[in-house]
Amino acid sequence: MAKLHYGWVIVAAGALMTWMAMGALLALPVFLAPISADTGWSRGGIGFAMTLNFLTMGIGSAVWGGLSDRYGPRMILVTGVLLLGAGLALASRATSLLEFQAIYGLLIGIAAGSLMVPLMSTVTLWFDKHRALAVSLVSSGIGVAPMTVSPFAASLVVTHGWRTSELILAAAVVVLLLPAALCIRRPPHMPAAASAGGMGGPELKAAARRALRSRPFIVLSLTFFACCATHAGPIFHTISYAIGCGLPAMTAVTIYSVEGFAGLVGRLLFGVLADRVGVKRMIVLGLLTQALAAGSYVLATGLSDFYAVAFIFGMAYGGVMPLYSALARDYFAPQIMGSVLGAMTLLSGIGMALGPALGGWIYDRFHAYTWMYLGSLAVGLGAAAIALALPRVRTSGPALAVPA
């Protein structure tokens, strides 16, 4: 009971961290117009900082994940929180677009990459019976952030300007998340590899290399990549598409809030169902639903249509995203979960970075978003097909274990 109880403490601390960290990171769209008006920097140049951030976050996740296997999650998370706070503070002082892109795209991206993978890999170690629900609850902060942190950031900008608002968010990140990071630790029976004698060194690296070449990793990573490539374009461009369909700009923004709320619902619903009927089944179901919803955007015309599609779409991608971590724990040994999830996140980050860029290119080429949504439908169906190739989960233990 004690181990299970502290596992839920880690879930609560992890949800707080994903909420505040991702809320501060994804507040950039709120600051976009004020930054451009204040500095004269182009919106495209400011937006490129976010694209660079996604790429750097993926690379950082792979590196930080391996370090968390070796040294444990607490030191990595504390370092990440401090770097994120420092990055947000430095971004608020940037005097040129290039300096802003370097800070927001590189430093903040590296900091953000240190948070999610150590959190998710650690949570999977504390749970067997309710693992899917636990990882879904940790990621629920991402769904809550657009409904809470983004409006808070918008109100700050009105009264304090974007530079002071970034400083306030930087302070909030450090004050709220540093104590939460200190609560994160591995189960007592599983110390970090660096302090576990024979568990570290060549054995750990060899196990990680085997895992990254295995069929479960390749199929799961390709599924994750295609999943993110499916929803990245619609998430980024749907507000512009809705405005093009005649909706007022302020009304169109509410579609994003509907997606965020639906994502929170999806995380909880899919987490509960995955523990009951199986994680793989819920991933396939979620991917099919996500694909059909993405394609359905081409049929939306009025606000009620957009709300209906956005709710289904947000629930599907929000519900599926945490389940990759839960399923990975069934395939791989606990000692290498950070390395595995870090490499998976790197590929998913590439998928996320492709969506906005390709969606913009399609619009510039065809002066419409139709082909972007149809492309998302096709890629989403492909993701579900790839997921069907996942091997059966062994019930006797992880498929790839670290030798004692």
The CATH number of the structural domain formed by 201-390 is 1.20.1250.20
Q: What are the domain boundaries of the chain? A: 1-187, 201-390
- Report which of 92, 27, 106, 74 is spatially closest to residue 177, judged by C-alpha positions: 74
115-167 tens-digit pLDDT: 888 998 898 888 888 888 888 888 888 878 877 887 788 888 888 989 999 99
At 6, list the tokens.
């502290």
Distance (Å, whole) CA 298 – CA 144? 27
Distance (Å, whole) CA 251 – CA 265? 22
Q: Quick check: 82 pLDDT over 90?
A: yes
Q: What mean pLDDT do residues 47-67 have?
A: 85
Classify residue 168 as exposed, middle or buried by CB count within 10 Å of its CB (0-12, 13-18, 19+).
middle
Please tell me what DSSP assigns to residue 332.
B
Distance (Å, whole) CA 388 – CA 396? 22
Q: Quick check: 332 pLDDT over 70?
A: yes
Residue 238: which residues within 8 A CB-CB, separation 6 or more?
255, 256, 297, 306, 310
Query: Which percentage of the chain shows pLDDT scores above 90?
Result: 40
What is the third-level CATH fold of 1-187?
A: Growth Hormone; Chain: A; (1.20.1250)
At 301, list the tokens.
């015309």
Please tell me what DSSP assigns to residue 48.
H
Q: Quick check: 196 pLDDT over 70?
A: no
Residue 192: which residues within 8 A CB-CB, separation 6 or more?
69, 70, 71, 72, 186
> What is the predicted pLDDT for the residue at 286?
96
> What is the predicted pLDDT for the residue at 403?
42
The number of C-alpha atoms within 13 Å of 64 and in the hemisphere containing its C-beta is: 32
219-269 tens-digit pLDDT: 999 999 999 999 988 887 887 788 889 988 778 778 877 888 898 899 889
Strand, helix or coil at 321?
coil
Domains 1-187 and 201-390 share a fold: yes
- Report which of 319, 76, 62, 18 is spatially closest to residue 212, judged by C-alpha positions: 62
Residue 333: which residues within 8 A CB-CB, separation 6 or more?
207, 211, 398, 400, 401, 402
